[in-house]
Amino acid sequence: MTAVFPSLKGASVFITGGGSGIGAALVAGFLEQGAKVAFADLADAAQNPDAMFLPCDVTDIAALTIAMEKAAAAHGPITVLVNNAANDMRYFIDEITPEIWDSQQAVNFKHYFFASQKAAAGMEAGGAIINFSSITYAMGIDGMAPYVSANAGIMGLTRAMARELGPRSIRVNAIAPGWVLTEKQREKWATEESLSAFLDKQSLKTHIQPQDLIGPVLFLASDASAMITGQTIAVDAGVVNFG
């Protein structure tokens, strides 16, 4: 059972990558709190009728800006932004071209800043921004240099934005999940051997599901975390320690 956060009732929430996986779970979680939810994605696999789906390639900053403006027009100025959209493609160092590098930064990092910039401009009474990073930054996983670099950047960006936007009562925090077993992960990367090996790294011996991210994100979006900003919280069943 998810805790109830009264401050989220009626909140205008915008989520990138809300059509499937973790993002779809977050859309459902905010709706259960009574929030007004809009999300941008290439497709809406979850098809939640209570959320506003805005078809959008987040790497197209102009299109993302328009989507956010449509959400604000329908639900009021965005008070909670969740930057979730990402693509954890695997590329070994010898394979990476400038085009691959730029495309990976565009989908995993660049839009985080510009979505935050746009949302913050309308947060006249304060708000919350939650950025999704990854524990791959701390683990240094091979075959993922562009993705790992982007997620290290997200953690730095979170701290920088928290410092600059704090005087405007805008809190900025990050969530760094462990290996979350979305449908995509099961189809593309998960094998019996890899799952077993990763479970050995976890203190809690249960595979993480998308629903496990709902509570931490709701907490950071709500008044319950009113004095928390500039932080990265690992939701990884005890693999890394950012302390």
* Tens digit of each residue's pLDDT (9 = 90 or more) over 186-238: 999 899 999 999 999 999 999 999 999 999 999 999 999 999 999 999 999 99
| pTM given for the model | 0.96
State yes or no: pLDDT of 243 exceeds 70: no
Q: Distance between CA atoms of 48 and 34, rounded to whole angstroms?
A: 14
Task: Indicate the CATH number for domain 6-235.
Answer: 3.40.50.720
CB 13 within 8 A of CB 221: yes
State yes or no: pLDDT of 1 exceeds 60: no
Neighbours of 123 (CB within 10 A): 22
State yes or no: pLDDT of 28 exceeds 90: yes
> Could you write out the DSSP letters of every residue in 58-125?
TT-HHHHHHHHHHHHHHHSS--EEEE-------B-GGG--HHHHHHHHIIIIIHHHHHHHHHHHH-TT
CB 64 within 8 A of CB 115: yes
State yes or no: pLDDT of 138 exceeds 80: yes
Domain residue ranges of the chain, discontinuous segments joined by + = 6-235
Residue pLDDT, tens place only, 40-84: 999 998 899 999 999 999 999 999 999 999 999 999 999 999 999
Q: Distance between CA atoms of 112 and 90, rounded to whole angstroms?
A: 21
pLDDT-derived band at 120 (thresholds 50, 70, 90) equals very high
Mean pLDDT for 14-19 is 98
Nearest to 174 by CA among 161, 187, 192: 161
Decide: residue 49, CB within 10 A, 0-12 exposed, 13-18 middle, 19+ buried: exposed
Mean pLDDT for 90-115 is 97
State yes or no: pLDDT of 135 exceeds 90: yes
Q: Distance between CA atoms of 24 and 46, rounded to whole angstroms?
A: 6
Residue 147 annotated among the catalytic residues of the structure = yes
Backbone angles phi, psi at 171, to 5 degrees: -95, 140
Residue 141's pLDDT is 87
Mean pLDDT for 91-102 is 97
Nearest to 179 by CA among 83, 65, 45, 88: 88
Q: Which residue among the candidates 91, 112, 137, 147 is catalytic per the annotation?
A: 147
Q: Distance between CA atoms of 199 and 209, rounded to whole angstroms?
A: 13
Query: Which amino acid is residue 105, in one-letter code?
Result: Q
Query: Which amino acid is residue 74, in one-letter code?
Result: A
Residue 80's pLDDT is 99
CB 144 within 8 A of CB 123: no
